[in-house]
């Protein structure tokens, strides 16, 4: 440390002789150009309460005040200033006690010279600065710790909310599905004539009930699938599957629905067989979901194209429709849970907004992705990319 850096110091000493001695010793140090302030009793200190000193030399025995009280009063008034105690010969124990309370050092009057004083001042300033730095670091690290604790408890809270939500969804869906399935079976029995002859009017009413129940079951199934996925309970059973014949099979199954709305489907594939290592059940549901959407969100008589292509280590499956299309802004939201675009309500009022979220997560579990390109009013291309 630069010794010439002493700018000012305060000496609190009620004995004129001792004060003069300190002044003499200071003069013999290497310090130069410093401002020296002498105070002879504690009451005088008040007028310096706003002053900043670099170091204080404090005689412990001022007037008849108890030494620790003297130190505490000065220390309180000049909290950030290092204090060196000046003691009498027999005050070793007392001096050590006061150093423990926060004084930087102590010097026994009549035994120290200019070198000792200079060294003491230098290290008192240095130690006080280190203490301040340490205190600051402690506050900062305590703040970090508090913040980390907050994050941890917040994350525990959110995880638990999320878990309760998953449990709620799963229980609610299971409890809803069983009675809804029973309703379906009994309406089916009526429709098939197992409960006796029914006339056309009764049949019409029962058919409406059957269709509504079917939609209800579809939504319950969507909720169940997503609850299972979010709870991490989806395990893929991957086997090599030919995507061309899988898609042909799906299209045959969907033929009735597609033709009801007079849609034309064109299926193209560059190879006769395109094999990928997939969980067939789950990927089948992904393809079906995209086909259903192409069907739902297109006007009657529209063209739907399906492509299967192999490129290097990837296979691509595209479902291309000429339907209502999706704006850029909405495209960003589509793969989130419960996300539906306003104008799709007129096309399919009963959608759950869960299909695309589920589909994307399932494809991602396979190491692939779903990509969407769409122009509002023109149509959409959903491209599934899967590892070969």
For ligand ADP, the binding residues (CB under 6 A) are: 289, 293-294, 297, 321, 323-324, 326, 334, 339-341, 344, 348, 351-357, 380
Nearest distance in Å: CB 319, ligand ADP? 8
Cβ nearer to ligand ADP, comparing 230 with 321? 321
Pairwise CA distance, residues 56 & 69, whole Å: 16
Cβ nearer to ligand ADP, comparing 109 with 254? 254
Of 25, 18, 202, 211, nearest in space to 112 by CA? 25
Nearest distance in Å: CB 305, ligand ADP? 12
Cβ nearer to ligand ADP, comparing 102 with 353? 353
Question: Which whole-number Å values give the CA distances from 302 to 287, 295, 310, 324, 349, in the listed order?
Answer: 19, 8, 27, 11, 20
- Paired with 49 in beta bridges are none
Classify 156 as helix, strand or coil: helix
Q: Which residues contact 88 (CB under 8 A, 6 or more apart)?
A: 60, 61, 108, 109
For residue 241, count CB atoms less than 10 angstroms from its CB and return exposed for 0-12, middle for 13-18, buried for 19 or more: middle
Cβ nearer to ligand ADP, comparing 82 with 351? 351
Nearest distance in Å: CB 135, ligand ADP? 56
Helix H or strand E encompassing 17: helix 16-27
DSSP string, 324-378: S---HHHHTTTTSTT---GGGGTT-TT--S-HHHHHHHHHHHTT-EEEEEEETTT
Nearest distance in Å: CB 133, ligand ADP? 57
Nearest distance in Å: CB 190, ligand ADP? 29
Handedness of CA 77, 80, 84, 87 (dihedral sign): positive
Nearest distance in Å: CB 362, ligand ADP? 12
Cβ nearer to ligand ADP, comparing 12 with 341? 341
Pairwise CA distance, residues 178 & 172, whole Å: 10
For residue 113, count CB atoms less than 10 angstroms from its CB and return exposed for 0-12, middle for 13-18, buried for 19 or more: exposed
Nearest distance in Å: CB 264, ligand ADP? 16
Cβ nearer to ligand ADP, comparing 105 with 292? 292
CA angle 173, 163, 335 (to 5 degrees): 70
Q: For helices 200-230 and 114-191, give the axis angle rounded to 10 degrees.
A: 160
- Residue facing ligand ADP at closest CB distance: 351
DSSP string, 189-229: HHHTTTTS---HHHHHHHHHHHHHHHHHHHHHHHHHHHHHH
Nearest distance in Å: CB 177, ligand ADP? 17
Upper half-sphere CA count for residue 20 (Cβ side, 13 Å) = 3
Cβ nearer to ligand ADP, comparing 116 with 381? 381
DSSP 79: T
Nearest distance in Å: CB 258, ligand ADP? 14
Nearest distance in Å: CB 228, ligand ADP? 16
Of 328, 376, 374, 333, nearest in space to 357 by CA? 333
Cβ nearer to ligand ADP, comparing 125 with 341? 341
Cβ nearer to ligand ADP, comparing 85 with 294? 294
Nearest distance in Å: CB 145, ligand ADP? 43
Pairwise CA distance, residues 339 & 333, whole Å: 7
Cβ nearer to ligand ADP, comparing 108 with 250? 250
Cβ nearer to ligand ADP, comparing 40 with 215? 215
């Amino acid at each position: 440390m630069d010794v010439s850096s002493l700018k000012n110091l305060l000496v609190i000493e009620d004995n004129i002789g001792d004060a003069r001695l300190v002044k003499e010793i200071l003069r013999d140090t290497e310090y130069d150009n410093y401002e020296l302030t002498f105070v002879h009793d504690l009451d005088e200190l008040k007028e310096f309460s706003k002053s900043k000193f670099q170091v204080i030399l404090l005689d412990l025995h001022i007037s008849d005040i108890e030494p620790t009280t003297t130190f505490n009063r000065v220390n309180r008034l000049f909290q950030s200033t290092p204090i060196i105690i000046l003691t009498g010969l027999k005050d070793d124990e007392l001096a050590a006690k006061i150093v423990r309370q926060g004084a930087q050092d102590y010097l026994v009057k009549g035994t120290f010279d200019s070198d000792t004083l200079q060294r003491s001042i230098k290290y008192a300033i240095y130690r006080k600065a280190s203490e301040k730095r340490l205190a600051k670091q402690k506050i900062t690290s305590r703040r970090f710790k508090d913040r980390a604790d907050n994050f941890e408890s917040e994350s525990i809270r959110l995880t638990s909310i999320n878990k309760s939500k998953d449990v709620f969804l799963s229980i609610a869906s299971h409890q809803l599905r069983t009675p809804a399935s029973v309703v379906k079976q009994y309406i089916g029995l009526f429709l098939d004539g197992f409960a006796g002859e029914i006339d056309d009017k009764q049949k019409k009413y029962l058919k409406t009930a059957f269709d509504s129940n079917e939609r209800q079951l579809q939504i319950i199934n969507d909720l169940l699938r997503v609850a299972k996925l979010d709870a991490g309970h989806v395990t893929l059973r991957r086997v090599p599957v030919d995507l061309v014949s899988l898609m042909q099979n799906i299209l045959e199954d969907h033929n009735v629905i597609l033709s009801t709305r007079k849609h034309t489907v064109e299926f193209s594939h560059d190879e006769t067989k395109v094999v990928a290592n997939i969980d067939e059940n789950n990927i089948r549901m992904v393809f079906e979901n995209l086909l259903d959407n192409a069907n739902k969100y297109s006007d009657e008589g529209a063209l739907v194209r399906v492509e299967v292509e192999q490129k290097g280590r990837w296979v691509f499956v595209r479902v291309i429709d000429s339907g209502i299309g999706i704006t850029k802004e909405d495209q960003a939201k589509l793969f989130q849970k419960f996300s539906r675009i306003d104008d799709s309500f007129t096309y399919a009022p009963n959608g759950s907004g869960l299909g695309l979220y589920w589909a994307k997560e399932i494809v991602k579990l396979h190491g692939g992705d779903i990509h969407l390109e769409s122009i509002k009013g023109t149509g959409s291309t959903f491209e599934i990319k899967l590892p070969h």
